[in-house]
Structure formats: C-alpha cells, structure tokens
C-alpha cells in the first residue's frame, strides 16, 4: 500500500515534469513541435516496453468504437496547449486551471450520462473549484 501511494504520487510528479520539459522545448521551437516530439518519443519508449513485456497487440485490439481511437489526436492538442500556457502563466496556474476544467467537465459528463446520485458532493466540489479559479483572476494583491 505504501509503495502504491508513492507510485501514485510519483505519477503526478511525472505529469507535471513532462509538461515542464515540453514547455522548455516549446520555448525554442513551437508548442505544436513540442507536442510532436512528446508523442514520437513516447511512442518509441512504449514500443520498446511493449516488445519487452508483451501485450502490444492484444486480442480485441481494434474492437473499440472508432471514436475511441481519437484519444491520441486530442492528446496532441492537450500537450500543445499545456506547453503554450505554462510559459505564460506558470506551472501551478496551468496545473490548477487544467485540473479545474477536467473535474468540472467530468461532472458534466457524468450528469449527461444520467449518473446524478452524487449530485450534492459534485455541486459543492464544482463551487469550490469555480471560487478558486475566480481567485486567480482577481487583480492586485
């Protein structure tokens, strides 16, 4: 359990580290170029991992609905926008605003899917997130 906690924390650190590294590349190239390198390097690493560990072409590989395979394309835009933002508003603002957008859109997606049994918690959470996002917008000290 302790190891799982450390791994999960480290995964979060790696998300932020990756964004910071891509933003550094975007400084001397462009945000889109940084996103390209992120994906091609990740692809090479995962190919090697897959060849070593196996499971690179599992059964049912192409049986998911077609739109599910658009995840990678969305990822290109996601990485590019993160690289662009971080140089302009800093790492913590980028991280928190993206997390806020992720949480609120997740709640909306749940509601659209008809899952509203946690409505009170979700509404309270969304209210706190909006308050936090508003706080980043206030001028002056």
Partner 1 sequence: MTVSTRPSPLHLLLAFASGGLLTLMVDFNGLVALHGNALYSSWVAHGTGTVAAILFLALMRQRPFPAKGGAAPGTPLWAYLGGVSGAVTVMLTSTTVNSPLALSGTLALGLGGQVVFSLAADRWGLLGLPRRMPKPRDFAAVGLIFAGSMIIIFGRS
Site for partner 1 contains 11 (CB under 8 A): yes
Encoded one letter per residue, x for contact with partner 1 by CB under 8 A and - for no contact, window 53-92 reads: x-xxxxxxx-xxx-xxxxxxxxxxxx--xx-xxxxxxxxx
Question: What is the spatial distance between Cα 79 and Cα 34, in angstroms, rounded to a whole number?
Answer: 8
Site for partner 1 contains 111 (CB under 8 A): no
Structure-token pair, residue 62: 């192409």
Question: What is the spatial distance between Cα 140 and Cα 134, in angstroms, rounded to a whole number?
Answer: 13
CB of 139 to partner 1, least distance (A): 7
Restricted to residues 27-56, the positions that interact with partner 1 (CB under 8 A) are 27-30, 32-47, 49-50, 53, 55-56
Question: What is the spatial distance between Cα 36 and Cα 79, in angstroms, rounded to a whole number?
Answer: 9
What angle separates helix 91-112 from helix 2-28, to the nearest 10 degrees? Answer: 110
3-state class (DSSP) for residue 140: coil
CB of 140 to partner 1, least distance (A): 10
Neighbours of 139 (CB within 10 A): 4
Site for partner 1 contains 116 (CB under 8 A): no
- The structure tokens 């995964």 sit at 11
Residue selected from 111, 114, 116, 125 as contacting partner 1 according to rule CB under 8 A:
125
CB of 123 to partner 1, least distance (A): 9
Q: Nearer to partner 1 by C-beta: 65 or 114?
A: 65
Site for partner 1 contains 2 (CB under 8 A): no
Residue selected from 17, 111, 112, 114 as contacting partner 1 according to rule CB under 8 A:
17
Structure-token pair, residue 23: 């933003």
């Amino acid at each position: 359990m302790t190891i799982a906690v450390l791994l999960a924390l480290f995964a979060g650190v790696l998300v932020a580290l990756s964004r910071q590294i891509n933003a550094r590349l975007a400084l001397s190239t462009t945000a889109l170029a940084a996103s390209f390198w992120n994906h091609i390097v990740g692809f090479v690493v995962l190919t090697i991992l897959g060849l070593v560990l196996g499971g690179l072409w599992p059964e049912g590989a192409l049986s998911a609905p077609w739109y599910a395979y658009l995840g990678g394309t969305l990822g290109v835009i996601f990485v590019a926008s993160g690289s662009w933002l971080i140089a302009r508003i800093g790492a913590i603002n980028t991280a928190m605003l993206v997390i806020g957008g992720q949480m609120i859109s997740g709640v909306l997606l749940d509601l659209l899917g008809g899952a509203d049994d946690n409505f009170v918690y979700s509404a309270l959470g969304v209210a706190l997130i909006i308050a936090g996002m508003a706080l980043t917008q206030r001028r002056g000290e």
